[in-house]
């Protein structure tokens, strides 16, 4: 007996609300019990933060290790004090306690996957770092 779930892209909810770009939660749409897989689409000159929140804010986690995998475009990532650029097919593994922030400094849309373990309360796992990466 096989156990699997297929979800079509049109069936996945965009959770960005009225913010720019898109944030698609594939893990919940698939009923994943162990994995979180999210697709973030960043419009040009935007940061990966919830709509209406400070684009200079970073975050870290208590126990969640993450992988960011760039599908298209280019994103700039701040990891602790280091800043690096990731392009299509580049990836980075980020330890839980490492402060991080992602933004699209370019003129084209960028898309990346966020992969981690699934947790019930993501907010309880997260620590915000205000003024982590002020705008240039």
Asked whether the CA dihedral 124, 92, 88, 136 is positive or negative, the reply is positive
Q: Which of 1.10.150.170, 3.40.50.970, 2.60.120.10, 3.50.50.60 would CATH assign to domain 37-123?
A: 2.60.120.10
Residue 119 has pLDDT above 60, yes or no: yes
pTM for the predicted model, two decimal places: 0.93
Three-state secondary structure call for residue 24 = strand
Query: What number is the average pLDDT over the span 14-40?
Result: 92
Indicate the average pLDDT of the chain.
93
Instruction: Compute CA distances 52 → 62, 69, 82, 99, whole Å.
Output: 24, 25, 26, 20
Q: What is the pLDDT of residues 46-96, one digit of tens each?
A: 999 887 788 899 999 999 999 999 999 999 999 999 999 999 999 999 999
Domain boundaries, the chain: 37-123
- Please tell me which residue, 81 or 123, carries the higher pLDDT value: 81
Which of 57, 63, 78, 76 minimizes the C-alpha distance to 134? 57
């Amino acid at each position: 007996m096989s156990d699997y779930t297929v979800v079509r892209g049109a069936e996945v909810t965009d959770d960005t609300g009225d913010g720019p770009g898109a944030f698609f939660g594939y893990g919940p749409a698939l009923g994943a019990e162990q994995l979180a897989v999210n697709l973030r689409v960043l419009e040009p000159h935007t940061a990966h933060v919830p709509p209406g929140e400070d684009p200079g804010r970073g975050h870290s986690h208590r126990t969640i290790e993450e992988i960011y995998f760039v599908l298209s475009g280019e994103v700039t990532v701040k990891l602790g004090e280091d800043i690096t650029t990731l392009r299509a097919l580049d990836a980075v593994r980020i330890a839980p306690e490492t402060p991080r922030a992602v933004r699209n400094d370019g003129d084209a849309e960028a898309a990346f996957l966020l992969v981690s373990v699934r947790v019930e309360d993501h907010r309880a796992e997260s620590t915000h770092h205000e003024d982590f990466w002020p705008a240039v």
